[in-house]
Amino acid sequence: MAPYAFGGRERHRLTPGRNRPRTRDARTFDKGGTQYDRLRLLMGDSVVTCLHADHRGQRRLLQRAFRPSRVTGHTELMGTHWARA
CA angle 82, 49, 33 (to 5 degrees): 140
Q: What is the pTM of this model?
A: 0.48
List of the chain residues with pLDDT < 70: 1-8, 11-29
- State the pLDDT at residue 45: 85
- State the pLDDT at residue 37: 87
- State the pLDDT at residue 72: 87
- State the pLDDT at residue 42: 92
Quote the CA–CA distance of 71 and 27 in Å, as a whole number.
32
